[in-house]
Amino acid sequence: MIIQLDMQSDVPIYNQLMNQIIEGIASGSLKPGDPLPSVRSMASDIGINLHTVNKAYTLLKQEGFIQIHRQKGVVIQPDTMPGITPEYQDKRNAYLKPIIAEAICRGLSEEQLLQIVRDMHNEITQTGEENV
Amino acid sequence: MIIQLDMQSDVPIYNQLMNQIIEGIASGSLKPGDPLPSVRSMASDIGINLHTVNKAYTLLKQEGFIQIHRQKGVVIQPDTMPGITPEYQDKRNAYLKPIIAEAICRGLSEEQLLQIVRDMHNEITQTGEENV
DNA sequence: GTAACTGTTATATATGTAGTATAACAGTTG
DNA sequence: CAACTGTTATACTACATATATAACAGTTAC
Protein backbone atom coordinates (compact mmCIF):
# COMPACT_ATOMS: atom_id res chain seq x y z
CA MET A 1 0.00 0.00 0.00
CA ILE A 2 1.80 3.04 -1.30
CA ILE A 3 0.33 6.34 -0.17
CA GLN A 4 0.86 9.38 -2.39
CA LEU A 5 -0.08 12.72 -0.85
CA ASP A 6 -0.25 16.13 -2.46
CA MET A 7 0.64 18.69 0.20
CA GLN A 8 -0.29 21.55 -2.18
CA SER A 9 -3.80 20.20 -2.76
CA ASP A 10 -6.87 21.90 -1.35
CA VAL A 11 -8.07 18.45 -0.30
CA PRO A 12 -7.17 17.84 3.38
CA ILE A 13 -4.47 15.23 4.05
CA TYR A 14 -6.77 13.04 6.18
CA ASN A 15 -9.22 13.11 3.29
CA GLN A 16 -6.62 12.12 0.70
CA LEU A 17 -5.57 9.29 2.99
CA MET A 18 -9.16 8.08 3.35
CA ASN A 19 -9.65 8.22 -0.42
CA GLN A 20 -6.51 6.21 -1.14
CA ILE A 21 -7.50 3.49 1.30
CA ILE A 22 -10.98 3.34 -0.23
CA GLU A 23 -9.42 3.17 -3.69
CA GLY A 24 -7.17 0.38 -2.43
CA ILE A 25 -10.23 -1.58 -1.33
CA ALA A 26 -12.02 -0.87 -4.61
CA SER A 27 -9.03 -2.00 -6.67
CA GLY A 28 -8.60 -5.17 -4.65
CA SER A 29 -5.08 -4.35 -3.49
CA LEU A 30 -6.56 -4.12 0.00
CA LYS A 31 -8.69 -7.15 0.85
CA PRO A 32 -11.08 -7.77 3.75
CA GLY A 33 -9.03 -8.64 6.84
CA ASP A 34 -5.82 -7.10 5.53
CA PRO A 35 -3.92 -5.17 8.21
CA LEU A 36 -3.15 -1.47 7.98
CA PRO A 37 -0.07 0.12 9.56
CA SER A 38 -0.51 1.55 13.05
CA VAL A 39 -1.28 5.23 13.30
CA ARG A 40 2.27 5.89 14.42
CA SER A 41 4.09 3.92 11.74
CA MET A 42 1.78 5.15 8.97
CA ALA A 43 2.36 8.71 10.17
CA SER A 44 6.14 8.40 10.19
CA ASP A 45 6.14 6.52 6.88
CA ILE A 46 4.40 9.30 4.98
CA GLY A 47 5.80 12.12 7.10
CA ILE A 48 2.67 13.45 8.74
CA ASN A 49 1.31 13.67 12.25
CA LEU A 50 -0.13 10.79 14.25
CA HIS A 51 -3.42 12.59 14.75
CA THR A 52 -3.95 13.17 11.05
CA VAL A 53 -3.75 9.43 10.44
CA ASN A 54 -5.95 8.79 13.46
CA LYS A 55 -8.60 11.14 12.09
CA ALA A 56 -8.65 9.28 8.77
CA TYR A 57 -8.84 5.90 10.54
CA THR A 58 -11.59 7.04 12.90
CA LEU A 59 -13.73 8.35 10.04
CA LEU A 60 -13.17 5.17 8.00
CA LYS A 61 -14.22 3.17 11.06
CA GLN A 62 -17.37 5.27 11.48
CA GLU A 63 -18.29 4.62 7.84
CA GLY A 64 -17.59 0.91 8.26
CA PHE A 65 -14.65 0.48 5.88
CA ILE A 66 -12.22 -0.67 8.58
CA GLN A 67 -12.29 -2.23 12.03
CA ILE A 68 -10.08 -1.22 14.92
CA HIS A 69 -9.19 -3.78 17.60
CA ARG A 70 -6.96 -3.31 20.59
CA GLN A 71 -5.44 -6.67 19.81
CA LYS A 72 -5.32 -7.00 16.05
CA GLY A 73 -4.74 -3.34 15.30
CA VAL A 74 -6.41 -1.84 12.23
CA VAL A 75 -7.82 -4.15 9.55
CA ILE A 76 -9.89 -3.74 6.40
CA GLN A 77 -13.54 -4.59 7.16
CA PRO A 78 -13.51 -8.44 7.21
CA ASP A 79 -17.28 -8.85 7.43
CA THR A 80 -19.81 -7.00 5.30
CA MET A 81 -18.67 -3.81 3.63
CA PRO A 82 -20.92 -0.78 4.13
CA GLY A 83 -23.81 -0.87 1.67
CA ILE A 84 -26.08 1.62 -0.06
CA THR A 85 -27.50 3.73 2.76
CA PRO A 86 -29.75 6.74 2.17
CA GLU A 87 -27.09 8.98 3.74
CA TYR A 88 -24.54 7.62 1.29
CA GLN A 89 -26.85 8.19 -1.66
CA ASP A 90 -27.54 11.78 -0.61
CA LYS A 91 -23.88 12.55 -0.13
CA ARG A 92 -22.88 10.88 -3.40
CA ASN A 93 -25.54 12.74 -5.38
CA ALA A 94 -24.58 16.03 -3.76
CA TYR A 95 -20.99 15.56 -4.87
CA LEU A 96 -21.88 14.18 -8.28
CA LYS A 97 -24.35 16.83 -9.38
CA PRO A 98 -21.94 19.80 -9.64
CA ILE A 99 -19.46 17.66 -11.56
CA ILE A 100 -22.06 16.63 -14.12
CA ALA A 101 -23.46 20.16 -14.37
CA GLU A 102 -20.03 21.62 -15.10
CA ALA A 103 -19.34 18.87 -17.65
CA ILE A 104 -22.55 19.84 -19.47
CA CYS A 105 -21.60 23.53 -19.45
CA ARG A 106 -18.21 22.69 -20.94
CA GLY A 107 -19.84 20.86 -23.81
CA LEU A 108 -19.37 17.24 -22.82
CA SER A 109 -22.10 15.00 -24.27
CA GLU A 110 -23.88 12.45 -22.10
CA GLU A 111 -22.06 9.65 -23.92
CA GLN A 112 -18.66 11.30 -23.41
CA LEU A 113 -19.43 11.67 -19.73
CA LEU A 114 -20.46 8.03 -19.44
CA GLN A 115 -17.28 6.96 -21.23
CA ILE A 116 -15.19 8.89 -18.70
CA VAL A 117 -16.95 7.05 -15.87
CA ARG A 118 -16.45 3.71 -17.66
CA ASP A 119 -12.75 4.40 -18.18
CA MET A 120 -12.22 5.46 -14.59
CA HIS A 121 -14.16 2.46 -13.31
CA ASN A 122 -11.97 0.11 -15.34
CA GLU A 123 -8.84 1.99 -14.32
CA ILE A 124 -9.69 1.38 -10.66
CA THR A 125 -10.82 -2.23 -10.88
CA GLN A 126 -7.93 -3.27 -13.12
CA THR A 127 -5.21 -1.53 -11.12
CA GLY A 128 -5.33 -4.03 -8.32
CA GLU A 129 -5.22 -7.13 -10.50
CA GLU A 130 -1.44 -6.96 -10.83
CA ASN A 131 -0.96 -6.85 -7.08
CA VAL A 132 -2.86 -10.06 -6.36
CA MET B 1 -33.11 31.98 -10.48
CA ILE B 2 -33.92 30.61 -7.06
CA ILE B 3 -30.93 29.99 -4.84
CA GLN B 4 -31.25 27.34 -2.14
CA LEU B 5 -28.44 27.28 0.42
CA ASP B 6 -27.75 24.75 3.15
CA MET B 7 -26.12 26.61 6.02
CA GLN B 8 -25.45 23.31 7.82
CA SER B 9 -23.54 21.84 4.89
CA ASP B 10 -19.80 21.32 4.95
CA VAL B 11 -19.73 22.83 1.47
CA PRO B 12 -18.85 26.56 1.70
CA ILE B 13 -21.63 29.01 0.83
CA TYR B 14 -19.68 30.63 -2.01
CA ASN B 15 -19.16 27.13 -3.40
CA GLN B 16 -22.84 26.22 -3.19
CA LEU B 17 -23.65 29.49 -4.93
CA MET B 18 -21.16 28.75 -7.71
CA ASN B 19 -22.59 25.26 -8.15
CA GLN B 20 -26.17 26.48 -8.40
CA ILE B 21 -25.28 29.04 -11.03
CA ILE B 22 -23.39 26.39 -13.01
CA GLU B 23 -26.38 24.06 -12.67
CA GLY B 24 -28.60 26.89 -13.86
CA ILE B 25 -26.47 27.22 -16.99
CA ALA B 26 -26.43 23.46 -17.52
CA SER B 27 -30.21 23.21 -17.18
CA GLY B 28 -30.81 26.10 -19.56
CA SER B 29 -32.62 28.24 -17.00
CA LEU B 30 -29.66 30.61 -17.25
CA LYS B 31 -28.80 31.43 -20.85
CA PRO B 32 -25.76 33.20 -22.34
CA GLY B 33 -26.15 36.93 -21.84
CA ASP B 34 -28.68 36.60 -19.01
CA PRO B 35 -28.07 39.08 -16.19
CA LEU B 36 -27.30 38.07 -12.62
CA PRO B 37 -28.28 40.16 -9.59
CA SER B 38 -25.65 42.58 -8.30
CA VAL B 39 -23.46 41.36 -5.47
CA ARG B 40 -25.41 43.52 -3.05
CA SER B 41 -28.93 42.53 -4.07
CA MET B 42 -28.01 38.84 -4.37
CA ALA B 43 -26.44 39.02 -0.93
CA SER B 44 -29.49 40.61 0.71
CA ASP B 45 -31.86 38.31 -1.21
CA ILE B 46 -30.35 35.15 0.19
CA GLY B 47 -29.29 36.68 3.48
CA ILE B 48 -25.52 36.47 3.23
CA ASN B 49 -22.66 38.89 3.05
CA LEU B 50 -21.69 40.94 0.00
CA HIS B 51 -18.17 39.49 0.00
CA THR B 52 -19.36 35.90 -0.09
CA VAL B 53 -21.30 36.63 -3.29
CA ASN B 54 -18.37 38.56 -4.67
CA LYS B 55 -16.07 35.61 -4.06
CA ALA B 56 -18.40 33.29 -5.97
CA TYR B 57 -18.72 35.78 -8.86
CA THR B 58 -14.97 36.38 -9.03
CA LEU B 59 -14.21 32.66 -9.18
CA LEU B 60 -16.90 32.11 -11.82
CA LYS B 61 -15.37 34.94 -13.84
CA GLN B 62 -11.88 33.42 -13.54
CA GLU B 63 -13.21 30.11 -14.85
CA GLY B 64 -15.03 31.86 -17.68
CA PHE B 65 -18.65 31.11 -16.79
CA ILE B 66 -19.67 34.75 -16.38
CA GLN B 67 -18.54 38.19 -17.49
CA ILE B 68 -18.43 41.28 -15.31
CA HIS B 69 -18.82 44.71 -16.91
CA ARG B 70 -18.87 48.05 -15.18
CA GLN B 71 -21.80 48.99 -17.38
CA LYS B 72 -23.86 45.86 -17.89
CA GLY B 73 -23.22 44.33 -14.49
CA VAL B 74 -22.85 40.57 -14.23
CA VAL B 75 -23.99 38.38 -17.14
CA ILE B 76 -23.75 34.71 -18.05
CA GLN B 77 -20.90 34.19 -20.53
CA PRO B 78 -22.43 35.41 -23.85
CA ASP B 79 -19.54 34.24 -26.05
CA THR B 80 -17.89 30.83 -25.87
CA MET B 81 -18.34 28.87 -22.67
CA PRO B 82 -15.14 27.48 -21.13
CA GLY B 83 -14.15 24.23 -22.83
CA ILE B 84 -12.29 21.08 -21.92
CA THR B 85 -8.96 22.31 -20.59
CA PRO B 86 -6.31 19.99 -19.14
CA GLU B 87 -6.72 21.70 -15.75
CA TYR B 88 -10.46 21.02 -15.86
CA GLN B 89 -9.88 17.37 -16.76
CA ASP B 90 -7.42 16.91 -13.91
CA LYS B 91 -9.72 18.53 -11.39
CA ARG B 92 -12.75 16.62 -12.62
CA ASN B 93 -10.96 13.29 -12.48
CA ALA B 94 -9.59 14.05 -9.02
CA TYR B 95 -13.11 14.65 -7.75
CA LEU B 96 -14.65 11.78 -9.68
CA LYS B 97 -12.22 9.03 -8.68
CA PRO B 98 -13.05 8.86 -4.93
CA ILE B 99 -16.77 8.82 -5.71
CA ILE B 100 -16.41 5.89 -8.10
CA ALA B 101 -14.07 4.04 -5.76
CA GLU B 102 -16.52 4.32 -2.86
CA ALA B 103 -19.38 3.21 -5.09
CA ILE B 104 -17.41 0.08 -6.00
CA CYS B 105 -16.67 -0.65 -2.33
CA ARG B 106 -20.36 -0.36 -1.51
CA GLY B 107 -21.24 -2.93 -4.14
CA LEU B 108 -22.55 -0.77 -6.96
CA SER B 109 -22.03 -2.40 -10.36
CA GLU B 110 -20.59 -0.46 -13.27
CA GLU B 111 -24.00 -0.44 -14.93
CA GLN B 112 -25.74 0.82 -11.78
CA LEU B 113 -23.18 3.60 -11.54
CA LEU B 114 -23.67 4.55 -15.18
CA GLN B 115 -27.43 4.59 -14.67
CA ILE B 116 -27.07 7.02 -11.78
CA VAL B 117 -25.03 9.33 -14.01
CA ARG B 118 -27.62 9.01 -16.79
CA ASP B 119 -30.46 9.80 -14.40
CA MET B 120 -28.69 12.80 -12.95
CA HIS B 121 -27.74 14.05 -16.39
CA ASN B 122 -31.37 13.89 -17.51
CA GLU B 123 -32.55 15.43 -14.26
CA ILE B 124 -30.33 18.45 -14.90
CA THR B 125 -30.98 18.91 -18.61
CA GLN B 126 -34.75 18.45 -18.28
CA THR B 127 -35.18 20.71 -15.27
CA GLY B 128 -34.67 23.85 -17.29
CA GLU B 129 -37.06 22.95 -20.09
CA GLU B 130 -40.11 24.08 -18.14
CA ASN B 131 -38.62 27.50 -17.53
CA VAL B 132 -38.02 28.36 -21.19
C1' DG C 1 7.73 -7.85 35.37
C1' DT C 2 9.40 -4.90 32.15
C1' DA C 3 9.74 -3.03 27.69
C1' DA C 4 7.60 -2.09 23.47
C1' DC C 5 3.95 -1.80 21.14
C1' DT C 6 -1.39 -0.78 20.28
C1' DG C 7 -5.48 2.78 20.00
C1' DT C 8 -7.21 6.69 22.56
C1' DT C 9 -7.61 11.07 24.85
C1' DA C 10 -6.24 15.67 26.35
C1' DT C 11 -4.12 20.02 25.70
C1' DA C 12 -1.89 23.63 23.25
C1' DT C 13 -0.46 26.06 19.22
C1' DA C 14 0.04 27.76 14.46
C1' DT C 15 -2.09 28.48 10.16
C1' DG C 16 -5.46 29.05 6.75
C1' DT C 17 -10.22 29.48 5.17
C1' DA C 18 -14.96 31.07 5.62
C1' DG C 19 -17.97 34.50 6.64
C1' DT C 20 -19.36 38.86 8.36
C1' DA C 21 -19.01 43.96 9.10
C1' DT C 22 -17.91 48.55 7.80
C1' DA C 23 -15.98 51.71 4.88
C1' DA C 24 -14.31 53.82 0.99
C1' DC C 25 -13.07 54.43 -4.14
C1' DA C 26 -14.04 54.81 -9.11
C1' DG C 27 -17.04 54.48 -12.68
C1' DT C 28 -22.04 54.54 -14.76
C1' DT C 29 -26.65 55.78 -15.06
C1' DG C 30 -30.96 58.39 -14.43
C1' DC D 1 -26.32 65.30 -7.71
C1' DA D 2 -28.05 60.83 -6.20
C1' DA D 3 -28.13 56.05 -6.68
C1' DC D 4 -26.38 52.46 -8.38
C1' DT D 5 -22.33 49.25 -10.18
C1' DG D 6 -17.90 46.28 -9.17
C1' DT D 7 -13.74 46.60 -6.43
C1' DT D 8 -10.59 47.03 -2.66
C1' DA D 9 -9.05 47.47 2.13
C1' DT D 10 -9.29 46.48 6.87
C1' DA D 11 -10.75 44.11 10.95
C1' DC D 12 -12.84 40.61 13.34
C1' DT D 13 -14.98 36.03 14.72
C1' DA D 14 -15.29 31.26 14.05
C1' DC D 15 -13.86 27.00 12.51
C1' DA D 16 -11.01 23.31 10.23
C1' DT D 17 -6.53 21.59 9.44
C1' DA D 18 -2.28 20.01 11.03
C1' DT D 19 1.28 19.65 14.26
C1' DA D 20 3.46 18.82 18.91
C1' DT D 21 3.82 16.76 23.33
C1' DA D 22 2.13 14.03 26.80
C1' DA D 23 -0.26 10.69 29.12
C1' DC D 24 -3.48 6.50 29.83
C1' DA D 25 -4.98 1.71 29.30
C1' DG D 26 -4.52 -2.43 27.20
C1' DT D 27 -1.75 -6.19 24.62
C1' DT D 28 2.28 -8.71 23.34
C1' DA D 29 6.91 -10.58 23.63
C1' DC D 30 11.16 -11.29 26.02
Q: Quick check: B96 contacting A, CB < 8 Å? A: yes
Mean pLDDT of A58-69: 95
- Tell me whether residue B2 is in a domain: no
Q: Quick check: A72 contacting B, CB < 8 Å? A: no
- Tell me whether residue A5 is in a domain: no
Which of B59, B79, B100, B116 to mutate against chain A (most A CBs within 10 Å)? Answer: B100
Taking 90 as the threshold, does the pLDDT of residue A130 lie above it? no
From the list B77, B56, B55, the residue with the least C-alpha distance to B66 is B77
Q: Which residues contact A115 (CB under 8 A, 6 or more apart)?
A: none
Taking 80 as the threshold, does the pLDDT of residue B1 lie above it? no
Q: Cα(B19)–Cα(B5) distance, rounded to whole angstroms?
A: 11
Which of B54, B76, B98 is the C-terminal boundary of a domain? B76
The proportion of chain B whose per-residue pLDDT surpasses 70, expressed as a percent, equals: 95
B99 pLDDT band, cuts 50/70/90, is: very high
Residue B103 confidence (pLDDT): 98
Taking 80 as the threshold, does the pLDDT of residue B20 lie above it? yes
From the list A118, B98, B79, A111, the residue with the least C-alpha distance to B69 is B79
Residue B14, nucleotide of least CA–C1' distance = C18
Residue A118 confidence (pLDDT): 98
Q: Which of A81, A106, A120 sits opposite B96 (nearest CB)?
A: A120
Residues A105, A56 share a domain: no
- Tell me whether residue B116 is in a domain: yes
Q: Cα(A45)–Cα(A123) distance, rounded to whole angstroms?
A: 26
Please count the structural domains in chain B. 2
Taking 60 as the threshold, does the pLDDT of residue B131 lie above it? no
Residue A2 confidence (pLDDT): 87
Residues B65, B34 share a domain: yes
Residues A93, A111 share a domain: yes
Residue B132 confidence (pLDDT): 46
Q: Quick check: A102 contacting B, CB < 8 Å? A: yes
> What range does the domain containing B59 cover?
13-76
Residues B47, B96 share a domain: no
Residue B115 confidence (pLDDT): 98
- Tell me whether residue A48 is in a domain: yes
pLDDT in tens, B42-65: 999 999 999 999 999 999 999 999
Residue A72 confidence (pLDDT): 75
Q: What is the CATH number of the domain that holds B33?
A: 1.10.10.10
Q: Cα(A124)–Cα(B100) distance, rounded to whole angstroms?
A: 8
- Tell me whether residue A122 is in a domain: yes
* Chain B contact set for A98 (CB, 8 A): 19, 22-23
Residue A132 confidence (pLDDT): 47
- Tell me whether residue B81 is in a domain: no
Strands B35-36 and B66-69: unpaired
Which of B76, B96, B119 is the C-terminal boundary of a domain? B76
Q: Cα(B11)–Cα(A115) distance, rounded to whole angstroms?
A: 28
Residue A19 confidence (pLDDT): 97
Buried-exposed string A38-53: b where 16+ CB fall within 10 A, e elsewhere: ebeebbeebebeeebb
Mean pLDDT of B30-43: 95
By C-alpha to C1' distance, C17 is nearest to B12
Q: Is the Cβ–Cβ distance between A99 and B95 less than 8 Å?
A: yes
Among chain A residues, the shortest Cα distance to B107 is held by: A83
Q: Which of A23, A82, A117 sits opposite B113 (nearest CB)?
A: A117
Q: Which of B88, B98, B101 sits opposite A106 (nearest CB)?
A: B88
Q: What is the mean pLDDT of chain B?
A: 93
- Tell me whether residue A26 is in a domain: yes
Residue A117 confidence (pLDDT): 98
